[in-house]
Structure 1
Amino acid sequence: MSLPTSMKAIAINGAGGPEVLTPTDMPIPVVKAGEVLIKVVAAGVNRPDILQRQGNYPAPKGHSELPGLEVSGTVAALGDGATRFALGDPVMALVPGGGYAEYVAVSELSCIAKPDAISFVEAAAIPETFFTVWHNVFERGHLKSGEKFLVHGGTGGIGVTAIQLAKAFGATVFTTVGSEEKCEAARALGANIAINYRTHDFAEVIKSETAGKGVNVILDVVGGDYIEKNIRSLSDDGRLVNIAFQNGSKATVDFMRVMLKRLTLTGSTLRIRSPEVKGEIARAIAEKVVPLIVSGKIKIPLDGTYPMARAADAHTRMESSAHIGKIVLIVA
Structure 2
Amino acid sequence: MTLSHTMTAIEISQPGGPEVLRPVTVPVPVPGHGQIVIRVAWAGVNRPDALQRAGMYAPPPSASPLPGLEASGTVVALGPNVSRWQIGDKVTALLPGGGYAEYVATHESHALPVPDGMGLREAACLPETCFTVWSNVVMRGRLSAGERFLVHGGSSGIGTTAIQIARNLGARVFTTAGSDEKVAACKALGAQAAYNYKTEDWAAAIRAEGSANLILDMVGGAYLPKNVRTLADDGRLVQIAFLQGPKVELNFAEMMMRRLTLTGSTLRPQSDAAKANIAREVEANVWPMIAAGRFAPVMDSEFALADAAKAHARMESSGHTGKIVLKVE
Identify the TM-score tier after normalising by the shorter chain: over 0.9
CA contact (8 A) 1:118 1:294 kept: no
Match of 2:174 in 1: 174
CA distance in 1, matches of 2:324, 2:63: 23
Moved over 6 A (4+): none
Counterpart secondary structure, 1:132: helix
Give the distance between the partners of 1:28 and 1:208, measured in 2 at CA: 55
The aligned residue for residue 298 of structure 2 is 301
Determine the C-alpha separation between the residues in 1 that align with 2:279 and 2:219.
Answer: 26
**Structure 1: which amino acid aligns with 2:187?**
R
Alpha-carbon offset, residue 115 of structure 1: 2.5
CA–CA distance in 2 between the matches of 1:240 and 1:145?
A: 17
Q: How does 1:97-108 map to 2 (within 5 A)?
A: 97-108=97-108
SS at match of 1:86: coil
Task: Summarize deviations over 1:100-130 as a string: whole Å, max 9, x none.
Answer: 0000010001010113311101110000000
Separation in 1, partners of 2:200, 2:251: 23
Which shifted more, 120-129 or 108-117? 108-117
Classify the secondary structure of the residue corresponding to 2:227. Answer: helix
Is the CA contact (8 Å cut-off) linking 2:177 and 2:196 kept in structure 1?
Answer: yes
Answer whether contact 2:145 2:170 (CA < 8 A) is retained: yes
| TM superposition shift of 1:311 | 0.4
Measure, in 2, the Cα distance between the counterparts of 1:39 and 1:72. 8
Give the aligned residue type for 2:146.
G
Q: Partner of 1:243 in structure 2?
A: 240
1:273 aligned residue (267, 270, 275): 270
Gaps of 5+ in 2: none
User: For each residue in 1:3-53, what CA deviation from the matched residue of structure 2 results, as whole angstroms up to 9, or x when unmatched?
Assistant: 110001000000111110001111001210100001100000000000000
Aligned residues: 329
Superposition deviation, residue 205 in structure 1: 1.0
> Which moved further from structure 2: 257-266 or 110-119?
110-119
Query: TM-score under structure 1 normalisation?
Result: 0.98
| 1:114 aligns to 2:143 (yes or no) | no
Corresponding residue for 2:144?
Answer: 144
Q: CA RMSD in A?
A: 0.7
- Whether the 8 Å contact between 2:115 and 2:290 is mirrored in structure 1 is no
* Contact kept? 2:301, 2:324, Cα under 8 Å: yes
Which residue pairs with 1:319 in the alignment?
316
In the TM superposition, residue 65 of structure 1 has moved relative to its aligned partner by 0.3
AA aligned opposite 1:168: N
Show the 5 A alignment for 1:155-170: 155-170=155-170
Aligned to 1:62: 62
**1:66 maps to amino acid:** L
Q: Secondary structure of 1:200's match?
A: coil
Shift of 1:208: 1.7
Q: Distance in 2 between matches of 1:104 and 1:140?
A: 29
User: Structure 1, unaligned stretches of length 5 or more?
Assistant: none
Specify the alignment match of 1:85 in structure 2.
85
SS at match of 2:25: strand
What do residues 53-98 of structure 1 show as CA deviations (whole Å, max 9, x unaligned)?
A: 0000011102100000000001000000011101000001000100
Could you give the per-residue CA deviations for residues 186-228 of structure 1, whole angstroms, max 9, x where no partner exists?
A: 0000000101100112111111222xxx110000000000000
What percentage of aligned pairs have identical amino acids? 55
C-alpha contact (below 8 Å) 1:222/1:246 kept by paired residues:
yes
3-state SS of paired residue (1:77) = strand
Q: Tell me what 1:32 maps to.
A: 32
Which whole-Å CA distance do the structure 2 matches of 1:117 and 1:279 have between them? 24
Question: Are 1:149 and 1:172, in contact at CA under 8 Å, matched by a contact in 2?
Answer: yes
